[in-house]
Amino acid sequence: MNVFSYHFFVLWLVSLILYYTIAGSRQWMLLLLMSLIFYVYSITKVPVVLISISLLTYIGAVAIVRERKKTETAEAGLKWFRRFISGACIVILMTGSVTNWFALLGNSYFTLKAISYLNDAEREGKCEKNYWFYLLYLIYLPTVLQGPFNRYAQFKESLAEKISFDYTEFMHGLQRFLWGVFKKLVLTTRLEQITNYVYGNLEMQSGLSIIIGTAACSLWLYTDFSGYMDIMLGISKTFGIALPENFRQPYFSKNIAEFWRRWHITLGGMFRDYLMMPFIQSGQGRGLRKYFKRYGKSAGKLAPVLAGTVIVWFCTSLWHDFSWKYLIWGMYYCVIISGSLLLDGVYKKVRKRLCIKEDSRIYAAFCMVRTWVLLLVANVILQVGNFKDFCVVVRQIAGRSFFSGGYITLSTLDWFVQDAIVLAAGLFVLLLISVLKEKNINVLCRIDNKILPVRWGIYYVLIFSVLLFGVYGFQHGGEQFLYMRF
């Protein structure tokens, strides 16, 4: 079921009406029914992976908590039992991904949530007794396809009491939804068209065109993914349920590590809490710390962090796709982040010698531009089909072909003048909103404080911008989301 389809809007509307009219203790049941209808209708198959993983982790968590209450001496055995179930979930996921035997829609998202739930059950000694509520946590409609990764305890707390209709929160949800639709239909597809044209005709492009196409790719990925997050966080808010933010203006980052703390925030949090920290605190992590401590105290502290970084980025690569391209992409980021950790002391000495203040605007601008360049290289890795194409990109940018060759024009993109105007205006609005949010200005509250004509004028401009300038139809890819395949 497509998010922009008539069926989806009917499901959303009917669910909202029933949700705010039924008793509070049963509201979650309506959400479960809505999520199941959406998921099963979308895959049009029996959700084998969902059923297998949900039952496996639910029963496993109940067994772990029960045994933990009996005796604390079985802690090591419970840990291995939990690892066995987690490994079985990953095997089920990988089998479905590699063989295409099962319907693949949101599988990696609910699998990772299931594994995190299992870890929390072992750590805290608490689990959900109601399987159906646990199933709702795994496939709650706004989170099942692309995240965000919400934690079970927070989700249960949000549904602990009856949720009454709140006009302000409901309108904020609709505004957030509309902003996400604007990003997706007005900006994303046009940016994708630029990228596809450039990388579909690499040999013919000038170096400048390749840089523009790669920059368009960066913005395309951002507007596609963050637009989807806005849509789903907005939908969830109309039901009175707040989900964790997944983006925080990532292109204002001053280094790659900060970028990944601002991009897909909840996935980074999952890998940090369930991969990085457990490894650092494990026997292997302590062994690395002890071994490298002989080379200095700082080396002992840094060694397990670097090893954990390698593990996290290897898993991040596999989570995105089982391919050499994504493995290289992941190791590229791993090397950059690890290198910055190793050279942090050198950076500080150089800044001190050159009398550079970290909080100066010029230095901050330099760091942002440096981060953009590194991100562009990563996006080249994702876009090129092979090493030969990568060499073509390098040759065109670094050689004499920087200004010579093909250029991006309206005719090559099959655009009208208004397409370029709409894209430029839309990107300006996106930049303006991002700057305000970076300054911790609540845009929704600012709109609420405007007088009625101005407030609704903003709404109507956004609505008609989507209706008049949005790109629709599967032939354009306007209604498809890139991250649904991960």
Query: What is the gyration radius of the CA atoms in the chain, in angstroms?
Result: 24
Task: Give Cα separations from 182 to 16, 230, 232, 425 (angstroms).
Answer: 23, 10, 13, 12
Residue 1 lies in a domain: no
The residue type at 144: V
Distance CA 453, CA 466 (A): 20
* Residue (of 266, 255, 262) closest to 434 by Cα position: 262
pLDDT at 71: 64
pLDDT at 329: 93
Q: 201: buried, middle or exposed (CB in 10 Å: 19+, 13-18, 0-12)?
A: middle
Residue 142 is part of which domain span? 6-158
pLDDT at 475: 47
pLDDT at 99: 60
pLDDT at 432: 94
pLDDT at 32: 95
* Residue carrying structure tokens 């002992």: 300
Specify whether 189 is located in the same domain as 154.
Answer: no
**pLDDT tops 50 at residue 413:** yes
Residue 249 lies in a domain: no
pLDDT at 251: 95
Distance CA 109, CA 39 (A): 13
Helix 75-99 to helix 48-70 angle, to the nearest 10 degrees?
180
Specify whether 303 is located in the same domain as 358.
Answer: yes
Specify whether 456 is located in the same domain as 476.
Answer: yes
Is residue 98 very low, low, confident or very high in pLDDT (cuts 50, 70, 90)? low
Q: What is the pLDDT of residues 307-361, one digit of tens each?
A: 999 999 998 888 887 788 899 999 999 999 999 998 888 888 888 888 878 778 8
Tokens linked to 215:
């920059």
pLDDT at 265: 94
Torsion of CA 178, 182, 188, 193, to 10 degrees: 140
pLDDT at 246: 93
Residue 263 backbone dihedrals phi, psi, to 5 degrees: -110, 130
Between 46 and 284, where is the model more confident? 284
Which of 158, 188, 216 marks a domain boundary? 158
**pLDDT tops 80 at residue 54:** yes
**pLDDT tops 80 at residue 412:** yes
**pLDDT tops 90 at residue 145:** no
Residue 460 lies in a domain: yes
Q: What is the pLDDT of residues 214-242, one digit of tens each?
A: 999 999 999 999 999 999 999 999 999 99
Total domain count, the chain: 3
Is the link from the previous residue into 244 a cis peptide, with omega within 30 of 0? no
Q: 124: buried, middle or exposed (CB in 10 Å: 19+, 13-18, 0-12)?
A: exposed
pLDDT at 486: 54
**pLDDT tops 90 at residue 423:** yes
Residue 47 lies in a domain: yes
Mean pLDDT of the chain: 86
Distance CA 145, CA 289 (A): 39
Residue 10 lies in a domain: yes
Specify whether 189 is located in the same domain as 312.
Answer: no
CB 47 within 8 A of CB 26: no
CB 140 within 8 A of CB 31: yes
Residue 100 lies in a domain: yes
How many angstroms from the chain centroid is the CA of residue 114?
A: 17
Distance CA 392, CA 155 (A): 49
Is residue 140 very low, low, confident or very high in pLDDT (cuts 50, 70, 90)? very high
Specify whether 153 is located in the same domain as 183.
Answer: no
Which of 106, 130, 158 marks a domain boundary? 158
Say whether 406 sits in a helix, a strand or coil.
Answer: strand
Specify whether 36 is located in the same domain as 59.
Answer: yes
| DSSP assignment letter at 403 | S
pLDDT at 76: 61
How many residues in total does the chain contain?
486
* Residue (of 343, 327, 322) closest to 378 by Cα position: 327
pLDDT at 474: 47
Residues in Cβ contact with 466 at an 8 Å cutoff, skipping those fewer than 6 apart: 178, 181, 182, 185, 186
Residue 336 host element (H or E): helix 324-342
* Residue (of 407, 386, 405) closest to 396 by Cα position: 405
Distance CA 260, CA 271 (A): 12
> Which range is most confident: 166-180, 382-396, 440-454?
166-180
pLDDT at 442: 86
Lowest model confidence (mean pLDDT) among 178-192, 330-344, 356-370: 356-370
Lowest model confidence (mean pLDDT) among 26-40, 97-111, 342-356, 357-371: 97-111
Residue 382 backbone dihedrals phi, psi, to 5 degrees: -70, -30
* Residue (of 228, 244, 89) closest to 155 by Cα position: 244
Lowest model confidence (mean pLDDT) among 159-168, 399-408, 461-470: 399-408
Which of 139, 158, 177 marks a domain boundary? 158
Specify whether 10 is located in the same domain as 153.
Answer: yes
Lowest model confidence (mean pLDDT) among 102-116, 201-215, 238-252, 373-387: 102-116
Specify whether 184 is located in the same domain as 282.
Answer: no
Lowest model confidence (mean pLDDT) among 50-64, 71-85, 302-316, 398-412: 71-85
- The pTM (predicted TM-score) of the whole model is 0.91
**pLDDT tops 90 at residue 97:** no
Specify whether 233 is located in the same domain as 272.
Answer: no
Specify whether 153 is located in the same domain as 223.
Answer: no
Specify whether 261 is located in the same domain as 191.
Answer: no
Specify whether 12 is located in the same domain as 154.
Answer: yes
Residue 57 lies in a domain: yes
CB 283 within 8 A of CB 300: no
Residue 387 lies in a domain: no
